[in-house]
């Protein structure tokens, strides 16, 4: 599923709280992730980007991406994660990995 399924829900929720709707890497409006960007060679040409696109990520990578997004956008405020289908699995896994936070 992509963020399109939340187009009717997000405006209603945003009247009384902050809402973040996103597409996981490679889905909807999001680009696919790239190979280990910390060791990236610096070749940012379109050919290199096309060559270095990854296959779908692991659930651990998706949870890590979500964690970075949450801390970039809202810091340490309490959050409520909502997901449908596979996203619900990622939300539950996130809650288990980061239960102390």
Q: Are 34 and 28 in contact (CB under 8 A)?
A: no
Both tokens of 12, joined, read: 């209603």
Counting as low any pLDDT under 50, the low residues of the chain are 37-40
Q: Give the integer Cα–Cα distance in Å for 67 and 94.
A: 8
Q: What is the dihedral of CA 22, 23, 24, 30, to 10 degrees?
A: -110
> Whole-number mean pLDDT of the chain?
76
Predicted TM-score of the model (pTM): 0.64
pLDDT at 38: 46
CA distance 65 to 87: 13
- Per residue in 73-89, pLDDT (tens digit) is 877 778 888 888 888 88
Query: Which of 83, 97, 94 minimizes the C-alpha distance to 20?
Result: 83
């Amino acid at each position: 599923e992509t963020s399109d399924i939340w187009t009717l829900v997000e405006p209603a929720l945003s009247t009384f709280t902050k809402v973040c709707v996103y597409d996981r890497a490679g889905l909807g409006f999001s680009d696919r992730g790239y190979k280990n960007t910390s060791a990236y060679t610096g070749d940012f040409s379109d050919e290199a980007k096309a060559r270095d696109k990854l296959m779908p990520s692991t659930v651990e990578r998706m949870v890590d991406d979500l964690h970075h997004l949450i801390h970039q956008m809202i810091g340490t405020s309490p959050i409520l994660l909502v997901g449908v289908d596979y996203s619900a699995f990622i939300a539950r896994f996130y809650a288990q990995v980061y239960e102390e936070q």
